[in-house]
A and B are shown apart, each in its own frame.
Chain A
Amino acid sequence: MATTITTLARRPALRERGRQAVETLRRAPLIPMAIIVIVVFTATFAPLLTPHSTTQPSLADRLTPPVWQEGGTWEHPLGTDALGRDLATRLMYGGRVSMMVAIFTLAIGGGIGTAIGLVSGYFGGRIDAVFMRSADSTLAFPIILFAILLVVAVGPNITNVVVAIALVLWARYARVIRGEVLALRERDFIARARVSGCSHLRIILLHLFPNTVNTLLVLLTLQVGWVIIVEASLSFLGAGIPPPTPAWGSMVSDGREYVDTAWWVSAIPGIAIMLTVVAFNLFGDWLRDTLDPKLRQV
């Protein structure tokens, strides 16, 4: 008897919650989400999706136009570059590079930045001053220049690109998370945790950190696009992923010489960058509005 009463009482609430979830999903940006799924899917399963090699030149096929243009074939739906390599294939593998760089940089840079933000906001004082001054200096410095210097000094490869971008990325996380912590620190539950004898580490990890997760998620999503653009810019300048590994930025650069004869070589990878970045930005905007509406300027 008692159980029926509780289920009956709970049912409308559940239904209400279900309706809210459906409503939230209906307002979700479906096209951006679809683009993200496509990019992640093709990047992950690239070897299964294409018969072509990313690096093997095939001079007979060089500068084949995309399939919808005269001279295009279904063999190379998006055409080929100056060495006859299939653009669609290189695009998928290039997506792999972009996604990998994004995941690792955000994990490292976001991780370090969050840790610094938590410590800085919680302890305050001199530690805070030093960390925040360094964060401000990092943010005010031309990011690409810093990364170029690092990559040129230690040699261009994917690890160094990740390290270079992460070294710049931490600052924004440190700033935003610190701001959150400053507000949280004054709340009663933190004071109570302290009174009940929690260690600093426990308070930071179990009481402060979980309350910053929403902000962190939003920031991470919004910065995927930024990381992709920085990585592409580095690769474009020759300070990123070294050839012949396909990266979107260096693919755009490859096409520069053929801008008057073969527009697709640099146009198509650029469109890929644009669509992916727009998708992540719009998705991040939606996530922010859903999870954390007070966050406006991140």
Chain B
Amino acid sequence: MQRYIVMRVGQSIVALIILSMIIFALGRFTGDPIILLLPQEATIETELALRAHYGLDQPWPIQYWKFVSNAVQFDFGDSIKSKRPVMDLIGPKVMNSLRLGLAGMVITLIIGIPLGVLAAVKRDTFFDGGAKLIAIMGQSLPQFWVGIMLIQLFTVQLDLLPAAGTGGISHYVMPAFTLGWWVAAAVMRLLRSSMLDALDGEYIKMARIKGLPEYKIVWKHTFKNALIPVLTFAGTYLATFITGAILVETVFAWPGLGRLVYDSIIWRDFPVLQTLVLMIAVVVITVNLAVDIAYAYIDPRIRYD
């Protein structure tokens, strides 16, 4: 067990190092940020001075080393667009994104879990069909488009909900729903099939023979076991959530990290983009690590080699 954990942590660190190298290498391909910064009439001296200021005149390995050692100290340089330190831009937005993410997750759980269980228990009925429809829609509707259509309906036509920005509860409704629905569809599909597998189990037959009430069979005996395969995908869901947050925050002008990703694409602001990608990678890798370790504890059938 300890060997497994050590190995898994080691793998995560290797993954992070490789990723940081890729990000750094890509940064050098980005096109020259200096060209964007320079006024048209700038002389070659100003250009060189600016290059030296951003450390862009050094050889690559030195630049990479500087990049890593600065990153460890949370110094990611200055944004090319706003000339302020990247961390100053990111800091105030973290909470906004976390709040939206949390709201999205609540929606996912509220929609995904009951529907997944219902679809399995009432297999091949109206509920199953409805759940299937929601799952297909969740897979097929582009999230950004759903957001725009919700604005069209609830802001433009019905004038019920605000279209953009943060504020009270009403600001959360549309973004959280748009964000949560996609993952809800995935959770539901997976939960349905693992519930069906679990319902086939011998121990369920045993529970039925014992004469346990149906709700106990479903929630206590089946649901608990069916949840394990769903939890395995927690890492994948997180990835889907982050992808979704970029699109949803862009559509609803939500002042979070996703919107910052969009702004940095538009402005070709590579220092900001690379910091965001690196931060998100650290979160994703840590969560996956935690899931794997937790999983090894929960399910003793996992092999540790």
Partner-B contacts on A (CB < 8 A):
133, 137, 139-145, 148-150, 152-155, 225, 229, 232-233, 236-239, 249, 252-253, 255-256, 259-260, 263, 266-267, 270, 273-274, 277-278, 281-282, 296-297
> B268 within 8 Å of A by Cβ?
yes
- Sampled A-B contacts (16; CB under 8 Å): A145-B246, A149-B273, A149-B274, A150-B26, A152-B268, A153-B26, A153-B30, A155-B31, A237-B250, A237-B265, A252-B148, A260-B156, A267-B149, A270-B148, A270-B149, A281-B139
Tell me if A148 and B261 are in contact (CB < 8 A).
yes
User: Is the pair B247, A140 in contact by a Cβ cutoff of 8 Å?
Assistant: no
**Closest approach, in angstroms, between the C-beta of B10 and any C-beta of chain A?**
11
Q: Across the interface, do A274 and B141 meet the contact criterion of CB distance under 8 Å?
A: yes
Q: Among residues 67 to 111 in chain B, which have CB atoms less than 8 Å away from a CB atom of chain A? A: none
Complex: how many Å from CA A133 to CA B152? Answer: 44
Expressed in whole angstroms, the Cα–Cα distance for A219 and B20 within the complex equals: 31
* Bound-state Cα–Cα, A155 to B31, Å: 8
Complex: A277 Cα to B146 Cα, angstroms = 14
- How far, in angstroms, from A141 to B287 measured CA to CA in the complex? 11
Partner of A259, one of B148, B266, B268: B148
Give how many A-B residue pairs fall within 8 Å (CB-CB): 128
B204 at the interface (CB under 8 A from A): no
In the complex, what residues of A have CB within 8 A of residue B284's CB?
Answer: 140-142
Q: Chain B: interface residue count, which band?
A: 35 or more
Instruction: Point out the residue from A148, A150, A225, A237 that lies within 8 Å of B140, measured CB to CB.
Output: A225
The answer to whether B198 has its CB under 8 Å from any CB of chain A is: no
Q: Are B277 and A153 in contact (CB under 8 A)?
A: no
CA distance A153 to B31 in the complex (A): 7
Q: Which residues of B contact A (CB under 8 A)?
A: 11, 15, 23, 26-27, 29-31, 136, 139-145, 148-149, 151-152, 156, 190, 193, 235-236, 238-240, 242-243, 246-247, 250-251, 261-262, 264-266, 268, 270, 273-274, 276-277, 280-281, 284-285, 288
Chain B: minimal CB distance from A92 (Å): 19
**Among B238, B251, B270, contact of A152 (Cβ-Cβ < 8 Å):** B270
B71 to chain A, nearest CB (A): 16
A-B contacts besides A149-B274, A297-B193, 5 pairs, CB < 8 Å: A141-B239, A148-B261, A236-B144, A260-B156, A274-B142
Residue in contact with B236 in the complex, picked from A133, A139, A153, A229, CB distance below 8 Å: A139
Q: Are A266 and B145 in contact (CB under 8 A)?
A: yes
Residues of B within 8 A of A148 (CB): 246, 261, 265, 273
User: In the complex, A137→B235 CA distance in Å?
Assistant: 10
Q: Which chain A residue shows the least CB distance to B146?
A: A270
Known: A148-B261, A259-B152. A270 touches B280 (CB 8 A): no
A225 (CB) vs chain B CBs: closest residue: B140
Q: Is the CB of A142 within 8 A of B239?
A: yes
Contact, CB under 8 Å: B273 / A141? no
CA distance A232 to B270 in the complex (A): 22
Complex CA–CA separation, A32 to B227 (angstroms): 33
Q: Which residue of A lies closest to B15 (CB)?
A: A137
Q: Hey, which chain A residues are within 8 Å of B148, CB to CB?
A: 252, 255-256, 259, 266-267, 270
Q: Across the two chains, which residue of chain A brings its CB closest to B151?
A: A259
For B27, list chain A residues within 8 Å (CB): 153
Assembly CA distance A149 to B251 (angstroms):
20
- Please give me the residue from chain A that is nearest to B264 by CB atom: A152
In the complex, which residues of chain B have a beta carbon less than 8 angstroms from the beta carbon of A256? 148, 251
In the complex, A237 Cα to B140 Cα: how many Å? 18
Closest residue of B by beta carbon distance from A150: B26
A142 to B277, CA, bound (A): 9
How close is A219's CB to chain B, nearest CB, in angstroms?
A: 15
Contact across chains for A282 and B136 when beta carbons are under 8 A apart: yes
> What's the Cα separation between A270 and B273 when bound, in Å?
27
Chain B residues within an 8 Å CB radius of A282 = 136
> Given known contacts A238-B266, A263-B152, is B145 in contact with A149 (CB within 8 Å)?
no
Considering only CB atoms, which chain A residue lies closest to B269 in the complex? A152
Interchain CA distance A259-B31 in the complex, whole Å: 34
Chain B residues positioned under 8 Å from A270 (CB to CB): 141-142, 145, 148-149
